[in-house]
Amino acid sequence: MLRHFRLAWLGLVPFLVFITAFELLPLGGLVLSAFSDGGGPSVVNFVRAARPAIVTAFANSTGLSLATALLGTAVGLVIAYLVQTSRSRRWRNVVTALSTVTASFGGAPLAFAFIIALGSTGMITMLLGLVGIDLYPGFRIYSVTGLIVAYLYFQIPLAVLLLLPSVQGLKREWREAATSLGADGRAYWLRVGLPLLRPSIASCFCLLFANAFGAYATAWTLTGSSVELVTVQIAALIRGEVQLDPALADAIAVLSMLVMAAAIWLQRLFARRQGMASR
């Protein structure tokens, strides 16, 4: 039995080598670079990260992530409920498959798709102009509002996939019991449905926040450097279009990792509470 146990661990060696080479070692190098200043250990890079442009970038990234996480969770919850209560199995399969595809579709291709559709000379923009509806200059896809619209394209499907199992766990008998006790639809959701789904909703919100906070390619392709975001700042410092400062970029990356780690920790906390509540 001990021999089989050792052979089982031996099968994990390629995976452990991969994780060490492509995750642990780069992460260690990132942290060492962030806490060094040429001569030795130092926090000067984090002090320099307090410059106004970087603080603005963190504020913009946080606001963008909060907005898309909130809207994505709310809309995703409604769609997940409609899918669950639908009597058509084909409709459920179509929505689930579409959510699976669109949740993983992002980056530069998504940005180009929105530029072609909603840009200043985009197809939808031109078609709306033919009927007298002018999106510009009130709406610009190359702004923070445009980023919110683009991010929701993959945030909402991800929320649907995350919330659908929890919505499926709501038993019809609970709704019938609440109705028999005189509760209407609003009372049921306020006192039964939403309290039961609260851990799942909070967990979904945290994951969507982390997902949006770390996004880069979509934001860069749509807005370039016109919208200050954390990921855009890191890329600019590494590429050296204006200045080359990889140590400062590493410090910003470490701070970003702390933000996303906090979001993931909260997600795991809510997921644990959800598991305890379902027992």
Classify each residue of 145-177 as buried b or exposed e, where b means 16 or more C-beta atoms within 10 Å of its C-beta. Answer: ebbbbbbbbbbbbbbbebbbebbeebeeeebee
Distance CA 83, CA 79 (A): 6
Tokens of 81: 């409920």
pLDDT at residue 70 is higher than 90? yes
- Predicted pLDDT at 152: 94
On average, the pLDDT of the chain sits at 86
pLDDT at residue 188 is higher than 90? no
Say how many C-beta atoms besides its own lie within 10 A of residue 240's C-beta.
Answer: 11
Say how many C-beta atoms besides its own lie within 10 A of residue 83's C-beta.
Answer: 21
Q: pLDDT over 70 for what percent of the chain?
A: 93
3-state secondary structure of 140: coil
- Predicted pLDDT at 201: 92
Q: Which domains does the chain have, with CATH numbers?
A: 50-278 (1.10.3720.10)
Location of structure tokens 């305890």 = 276
Average pLDDT over residues 219-246: 84
